[in-house]
Chains A and B, each alone.
Chain A
């Protein structure tokens, strides 16, 4: 069974870049979609985007100008970069494996990232 684990700083300063990594075990990043989803405190889930194993990416239009998702198949990891962060980007960030439109999401445990000076 696939397991996903987020890692990265829990505190980021405004205007800086948020960087997170997701380490995958029990599965290979050479297949499926590799996604990031976030959840602001007390709010619902927001899809950030994914990278397909082929290298194709797709991002939430509301975040597209600030987001980069990449996959490192040699390390079985994928990453998220979100630039020019503000307090509105404070959230629990989840990494997930997405099996596609006829599948479902396998979730990591999530990591709280706070944007504050």
Chain B
């Protein structure tokens, strides 16, 4: 079965740039989405179709996808960005999630 691999944790200082990767076989041939989840809340879409931001999502969130890796980049990270982040894609008519990355803003 298809797998998406994320680092379990990423740390960043406030105001710096955070990058979270999501790796899967030929992931660049698929569309990747990214969701942010804060404790006790449902996941919130922050990136779809690799790099598009829904309305209301700050410009500091951006995405890319090429080769085997999709990347979520948060520029000028703020304390409110501390959360779990999940990548997601479709493979062979099934939905696959990455294991999630806990972003800590220290």
Partner-B contacts on A (CB < 8 A): 35, 37, 44-47, 50, 58, 60-61, 94, 98, 100-110
- Per-residue contact bits, chain B 67-104, to A (CB 8 Å; 1 contact, 0 not): 00000000000000000001011100111111110000
- Let me know if B94 and A101 touch, CB within 8 A: no
Q: Does B45 touch A at the CB level, under 8 Å?
A: yes
Q: Are B97 and A101 in contact (CB under 8 A)?
A: no
Write the B9-43 contact mask toward A (1 if CB under 8 angstroms, else 0). 00000000000000000000011010100000011
**Which of A58, A98, A107 is the one whose CB lies under 8 Å from B42?**
A107
Asked whether, in the complex, the Cβ of B45 is within 8 Å of the Cβ of A35, the reply is no
Q: Which residues of A contact B48 (CB under 8 A)?
A: 103-104
**Number of inter-chain CB pairs below 8 Å:** 51
B49 within 8 A of A: yes
A98 to B31, CA, bound (A): 13
Binding site for A on B (CB under 8 A): 1, 30-31, 33, 35, 42-45, 48-49, 54, 86, 88-90, 93-100
Most buried by B among A50, A98, A103, A108: A103
For the complex with contacts A44-B100, A109-B42, 11 further pairs of A-B residues with Cβ separation under 8 Å are A45-B100, A47-B94, A58-B93, A60-B94, A101-B31, A101-B89, A102-B31, A102-B49, A105-B43, A106-B45, A107-B44
CB <8 Å contact, A45 and B94: no
Contact of A47 among B30, B43, B49, B96 (CB under 8 A): B96
Q: Would you call B97 and A45 a contact (CB within 8 A)? A: yes
Contact status A58-B86, CB under 8 Å: no
Instruction: List 15 A-B pairs, Cβ < 8 Å.
Output: A35-B95, A37-B95, A44-B99, A44-B100, A45-B43, A45-B88, A45-B97, A60-B94, A61-B1, A101-B90, A104-B45, A104-B88, A105-B33, A105-B43, A107-B44
* A100 to B44 Cα, complex, angstroms: 17
| Residues of chain B lying within 8 A (CB to CB) of residue A108 | 42
Provided the pairs A44-B86, A105-B45, A110-B42 are in contact, do residues A58 and B94 lie with their beta carbons within 8 angstroms? Answer: yes
Closest partner residue, chain B, to A44 (CB atom): B100
